[in-house]
Structure 1
Amino acid sequence: MGQKYIKQFFQIAISLGIAVWIFWFLYKDIALESLLDQIESSNWSWIILSLTISMAGYLLRSWRWTLLIDTEEGEQVTLARSYHAVMIGNLVNMLIPRAGEVARCGVLTRTNGVSMGYLFGTVIVERSIDLICLLGTIFLAFIIEKELFLNLASQLVDLDSLGQMILSNLPIVFGGIAIFVLLIWYIFRRFRDHGLINKLQHFFREILSGLKRIGKLSNPIGFWISSVLLWVIYFLTMYTIAFGIPSTANLSPGEVLLVMVMGSIGMIAPVQGGIGTFHALVAFILIQLGISEVDGKIFAAIIHGTQVLLVLVVGLVSWIIMMKLPTWTKPEQAKHVFNPANTTNL
């Protein structure tokens, strides 16, 4: 058990170290005065509106989660408790990457008596759908800003030469694809008992079972609509804050969509709260859009910093509220013991 905790400690320390190093590398040459000047010159009405929209997103995500929690065990999960659990999860993610998903499930297990395994299964379904929506958003951004996508790709690879090479070697290309597919199939067959292969197979099985599970919900339409609306809200959060900062006020909706996509990819990275990776990717795409390097990095710092402050404040409030609630007990156990705290209603 001791070795397990030591391993977890080093994993957290390494991810935090990487995040801090990336953040330091990005901002080491930017004067604090530049950041303060940008903050002072920003229109905080737009930024506050962005935070309000972000809060609506957290509520919508919480409501979507309640649609998945369809079980007869324990006490029915209300929107309020789901919301507080989600905010606690976001708070924990700021400290330990990915641990927030376990934390929010643990909170509802304690207060509502729903099993941890069941709740974690609903989280896997959520994340699977979010991944599909992210891929769809990336494709939409490519359609809207195709020229910019191709320009970025051409900086890395000579697309014309690559296209000519593929056309002149079609048999080799198709043969290589066929060999690659057969190789993947052989690896999965030959090493199906290996830990990594098992995890990959389990991951894809969970996605498929999750998609089937959505069709059996009492409100599948509400689930799909809320999943799409969440990404609309993410876009509006980014779009409104872009209006509030002078350097990004003239960005088009398509350009803001690209910034949002890059920021979302940065948040996926296994570091605390996307620190460093979010800033690097957002600043990179803004520079490609003609924003100065300093302004791009400051924009990333402002939007990430305001979101972090929101999660810290609201997450702590939610944690205090949920910790004051009594631990759920089965009715046959509860009837033998009178506890005034059990009358608490959230």
Structure 2
Amino acid sequence: MNFVRIKYKKIISKALQIVFPIVLGGIILVYMYQGFNFDRVWEVLKDDMNYWWMFLSLVFGVLSHVFRGMRWKLTLAPLNEYPRTSNCVNSIFISYAANLVIPRVGEISRCGVLAKYDNVSFAKSLGTVVTERLIDTLCVVIITAVAVLMQTNIFLTFFTKTGTKSDVIESILSSSNFYITLACIVAIFVLFYFLVKNVAMFAKIKGIISNIWLGIISLKDVKNINLFILYTVAIWASYFFQFYLSFFSFDFSSNLSIMAGLVMFAVGSIAVVVPTPNGAGPWHFAVITMMVLYGVGKEDSGIFALLVHGIQTFLLILLGIYGLVALPLTNKNKKL
């Protein structure tokens, strides 16, 4: 009887991890696009979008993954793990596509790819991923701090609009935007709980806590720390230009400044932490709200968020498929 209960608890837990992100993202999207004229989206796609700028932005999207794969290889070297660069990059492609199905499962899947094709210790590589996420969090904090300092008034207005500024407490209960913000915060804590629980359980079962810790602290033994910093800057610069160059794909956003791009990029980077497929919903909410503050019409802002996010998501799917096809082909002469 206890076995059956435990089994059902695991099933419910897994179902929640899959269903909850989709439902949350869907609810936010429905709220943001209620009464929206979707016919205009097709008009923009057919007649008004500059595909060359969009293509250029996607080039930076691909580069960000390539640099991330190269940086990952660098952090594995101190652990005496030397995977092929192509395997590292293809595993990154697959991981981001996997995250579209179950948020954050990609971190596990890419470690499994290297374990399969390069016999890299799963536990050690998982530790390096933890370190990588800590570095990414630090980068987001730095980018956000710079954006806040440079565009303080815009951020204060954003906090007011979302019902999170301290002096608008009286209007919180009547602010639907506040509830979206609150739901996103709760979702982040739920994600963190499941991540800690799953990693702790996995580590306990496999007895690999010490190896995970070796992976986490591997950064201190990286031989070329300057190259690591260069890759990190390249990753986040690529992320930014992927977003910023998409402004020039549309007439209504082409006049936005690079500082506006930095602010929206910072807020969007925070929004994608919320566990929905590729940040769908929270990202739209953050970007649309910010674009409106910079003078772009709400409908145009909605079109921008919908198309940019949709095209970038499609790119992740294509890269994931490419990675799945390329891995067995580039490793066909290796004994697995």
TM over 0.5: yes
Change (3 A) 1:251 1:210: farther
Preserved CA contact (<8 Å) 1:111 1:325: no
Q: For the Cα contact (< 8 Å) 1:141–1:258, is it kept in 2?
A: yes
- Cα 1:158–1:317, aligned 2, differ >3 Å: closer, same or farther? closer
Tell me what 1:6 maps to: 12
Deviation readout 1:206-252 (Å, 9 max, x if unpaired): 9x988864231011111112112222111111111101111110101
Query: In percent, how many aligned pairs have the same letter?
Result: 25
2:230 maps to 225
Q: How does 1:256-295 map to 2 (within 5 A)?
A: 256-295=261-300
Q: Could you tell me which amino acid in structure 2 is paired with residue 311 of structure 1?
A: L
3-state DSSP class of the match of 2:77? coil
Cα drift, residue 58 of structure 1: 1.0
Task: Count residues in correspondence.
Answer: 290
The residue aligned with 1:62 is: 69
Which of 335, 342, 345 is matched with 2:333 structurally? 342
Give the gaps of 5 or more residues in structure 2: 1-5, 169-195, 201-210
Distance 1:241 1:120 in 2: 33
Distance across 2 between alignment mates of 1:212 and 1:7: 31
Residue 344 and residue 211 in structure 1: after superposition, are their counterparts in 2 closer, same or farther (change >3 A)? closer
Q: Which residue in 1 is equivalent to 2:96?
A: 90
Distance 1:33 1:123 in 2: 42
The answer to whether 1:216 aligns with 2:200 is no
Larger mean CA deviation between 213-222 and 45-54 belongs to 213-222
1:116 & 1:216 partners in 2: Cα distance? Answer: 19
Aligned twin of 2:193:
none
Distance 1:263 1:158 in 2: 22
Partners of 2:76 and 2:128 within 8 A in 1: yes
The answer for unaligned runs of 5 or more in structure 1 is 161-194, 200-205, 327-340
User: Which residue of 1 is the match for residue 124 of structure 2?
Assistant: 118
Tell me if the contact between 2:100 and 2:278 (Cα under 8 Å) persists in the aligned partners.
yes
Aligned partner of 2:17: which letter? Q
TM-score, L = length of structure 2: 0.79
Root mean square deviation of aligned Cα: 2.9
Native 8 Å contact 2:94 2:324 kept in 1: yes
The reply to whether residue 20 of structure 1 matches residue 33 of structure 2 is no
Q: Which has the larger radius of gyration?
A: 1
Residues 1:72 and 1:276: Cα distance change in structure 2 (over 3 Å):
closer
Give 1:101's aligned residue: 107
